[in-house]
Amino acid sequence: MLLVEHFSKLIGHHTYQIVDCVDEQFRVPCTAAGINQ
């Protein structure tokens, strides 16, 4: 969960959505979509 925490600091607000997606399916498209939004 260290990577997720690091990303959360980099992204900031979109962490919850990205973490949710990554934690559920762990896919890149999901993360990219979250960052884009």
pLDDT tens-digit readout, 1-37: 566 666 666 665 554 555 555 555 555 555 555 555 4
pLDDT at 20: 57
Write the CB contacts of 34 (distance below 8 Å, at least 6 apart in sequence): 11, 14, 17, 18, 21
Rg (CA), the chain: 9
What SS3 state is found at 11?
A: helix
